[in-house]
Structure 1
Amino acid sequence: MRIVGIAGSVLSNAYVSRLLEAAGRELPARAELAVWDGLERVPPVEEGPLPSPLSRLCDRLARADGLLITAPAHSVLPPQLTHALDWIASQHGGTVLLGKPALVVTSCLRHHEAMWTQTRLQRALAAAGAHVQGADLAISPAFGHFDAEGRVTDAAVRARLRSALDHLRPPSAASSAAPIPAPRTPRAAQPGGARAVVRG
């Protein structure tokens, strides 16, 4: 299973970037998370061909099985993220997300901020033809919440994240997979899915 990941921030070492990496560690062992980091170079949709960063993103989405986005509160959501989704949904983006699962994970202090973020991004993803699901993780970006291995430390939050990631499984795998219990201790000795970073 190949998943493309996008962290909804143009800031280096942003909290949602760490959350995306942590989510990748909770994917099934044979899954691969390719993190696309070309967000800061995305312009608004306009006439003409796809910009180079978006062309590479669409190529990777066309070969992927799904899309995972980690997003901050609506008040700090970068416009480049919605621009990227608008490009994907446009005629330039083609059908790279048509029928594929997409998951938006938000990390917000306030419920209404998560709701606004989810609404905005889910609409853009639905316009691209994706099957969209959201998960609001009630964790504050002001605190670490990650262990030395980069995994989420809070057992309840981690269980919620792993449950949400089941949306990205192929239908046959999702229906046959047994429920995964929340671990009581970090699984440092049990590596998760492989993570390939896509530069572009």
Structure 2
Amino acid sequence: MSVRILALVGSLRAGSHNRQLAEAAAKHAPEGVEVVLHEGLGQVPFYNEDIDVEGTVPEAATALRNAAAQADALLLFSPEYNGTIPAVLKNAIDWLSRPYGAGALTGKPVAVVGTAFGQYGGVWAQDETRKAVGIAGAHVVEDAKLSIPGSVTRFAETHPADDAEVVEGLTKVIEQLSQAQPVAA
């Protein structure tokens, strides 16, 4: 049986190291696991309950919800912006948490990884992301973690897909996530 993991990247920048990390995850996913990067988080409007009404939900939000619903698990890639979670990733979590108690995240296994320029690799943002996605109803796979410090220098000349240590860490996280079971709401 194949496992489908949806990757959401919390950085919209074209040269994002977290985007590159997600590309590495897709490239090096173990056999039987498919990691699919979701495009279009930048087009999802800020969550507003007034527009989250059947028949009027923005197309980008519907596409995000459908992609998450079709996935067996989610892998979130979070950089650290001012010591916390990027708005685009928090917004995606907000959309996926609705409708309350029955959102696309409900009970679904989720892991959070990332890279940042600082010496801790964005752990504050990743911890905040785990907190938010857990409150939103997901099953956070707490042991599946990877924080890579010094992204600007570490990946200045090397793509994460070509960094053996990064690939090993990503592979371990993907294996843990692919083996996690959904949790009943």
TM-score (normalised: structure 1): 0.73
- Is residue 2:102 matched to residue 1:99? no
Instruction: Tell me the distance in 2 between the aligned counterparts of 1:102 and 1:168.
Output: 7
* Stretches of structure 2 lacking an aligned partner (at least 5 in a row): none
Instruction: Tell me the distance in 2 between the aligned counterparts of 1:92 and 1:146.
Output: 42
For residue 20 of structure 2, what is the amino acid of its counterpart? R
The percent of aligned pairs where both chains have the same amino acid is: 27
Shift in Å at residue 38 of structure 1? 1.1
Instruction: Tell me the distance in 1 between the aligned counterparts of 2:43 and 2:64.
Output: 12
CA contact (8 A) 1:114 1:136 kept: no
Partner of 2:60: 53
**SS at 1:104's partner residue?**
strand
RMSD between aligned residues: 2.4
Q: RCO greater where, 1 or 2, for CA within 8 Å and sep 6 or more? A: 1
Q: 1:152 to 1:100 in 2, by over 3 A?
A: farther
Runs of 4+ in structure 1 deviating by more than 4 angstroms, as ranges, are none
Instruction: Tell me the distance in 1 between the aligned counterparts of 2:146 and 2:82.
Output: 16
CA contact (8 A) 1:74 1:116 kept: no
Partner of 1:162: 171
CA contact (8 A) 1:10 1:78 kept: no
- Is residue 2:19 matched to residue 1:11? no
* Stretches of structure 1 lacking an aligned partner (at least 5 in a row): 173-200
- Is residue 2:148 matched to residue 1:138? yes
* Aligned residue-pair number: 168
Shift in Å at residue 62 of structure 1? 1.0
User: Counterparts in 2 of 1:24-35, with a 5 A limit?
Assistant: 24-35=26-37
